[in-house]
Amino acid sequence: MEDRRTLFRQLHQNPGTFIIPNPWDVGTARILAAMGFPALATTSAGMAFSMGIAEGLAPREDVLAHCKALVEATPLPVSADLEKGFGDSPASAAETVVAAAGIGLAGCSLEDHTGDRRQPIYDFNHAVERIEAAAQACRSLSHDFILTARCENLLWGRPDLDDTIRRLQAFGNAGADVLYAPGLTDIDTIRTVCAAVSKPVNVVMGMPGATFGATELAEAGVKRISVGSALARLAFGAFVRAAREMQAHGTFRFSEQAMGFAELEGFFTGEAKT
């Protein structure tokens, strides 16, 4: 376990950019590991969809059980998308880190989205206090743990880049190891954000809007690239299109695009050709 956590830290310190894809269950985690990705991150939305619920509604015990299953599924380090954590207070942010570390995660992300659509973003000072408490909890652990701090402005109708950068800078100063502002849709803005902060930056691809390649993102200063719920949405989209074809037309052409049984099984038997 310690080697995984050490590896995760090294991935953020090594030169270059790395992709951290987001599985939503044990099977997809094992496929991504077999393909050679260096680390994995959970997706709160993908997890929720796999449970048949909306994002943000999974109970704490279900979230931790899901994350623990992904930690145990492969030898790779896993970082968890824990949304705002298990409460609103700084103390709850610290508790979230301790709980996450206790199930073997190599890191987690905490965001400044409140979960309340009427007041979606925590006040600046409160948001910083939460990250500061989480970072102190990280330092109290007997092993390494990567804390990612997320500013959710751009996803909740607050396209204020200055405030987003101000929050990311404050989160970094409060002790966050990685900074993340989902919703950046142009490369110049990504470059501006990366240049404005002193900690590694995670950028998510696969959201609506512009999608850039790993080379472009690396040149802009991005350290880590995730895809959030994109892989889960891709898979669920294919499933729904197939079901609609059966329902509307009584045909089964979708099966022509399905992966062969032996090829898929190979990911779980160690015989996959990637």
Nearest 10 degrees: Cα torsion 45, 229, 270, 213: -160
> How does pLDDT run across 72-110, given as a tens digit for each residue?
999 999 999 999 999 999 999 999 999 999 999 999 999
Report DSSP letters for 241-257, one per residue. HHHHHHHHH---GGGGG
> How does pLDDT run across 105-154, given as a tens digit for each residue?
999 999 999 999 999 999 999 999 999 999 999 999 999 999 999 999 99
- Of residues 215, 267, 270, the one with CA closest to residue 29: 267
Report DSSP letters for the chain, one per residue. -HHHHHHHHHHHHSSS-EE----SSHHHHHHHHHTT-S-EE--HHHHHHHHTS-TT-S-HHHHHHHHHHHHHHSSS-EEEE-TT-SSSSHHHHHHHHHHHHHTT-SEEEEESB-S-TTS-B--HHHHHHHHHHHHHHHHHSSS--EEEEE--GGGTT---HHHHHHHHHHHHHHT-SEEE-TT--SHHHHHHHHHH-SS-EEEE-SSSS----HHHHHHHT--EEE-TTHHHHHHHHHHHHHHHHHHHH---GGGGGSPPHHHHHHHHHT----
> How does pLDDT run across 179-238, given as a tens digit for each residue?
999 999 999 999 999 999 999 999 999 998 888 999 999 999 999 999 999 999 999 999
Supply the pLDDT for residue 210: 80
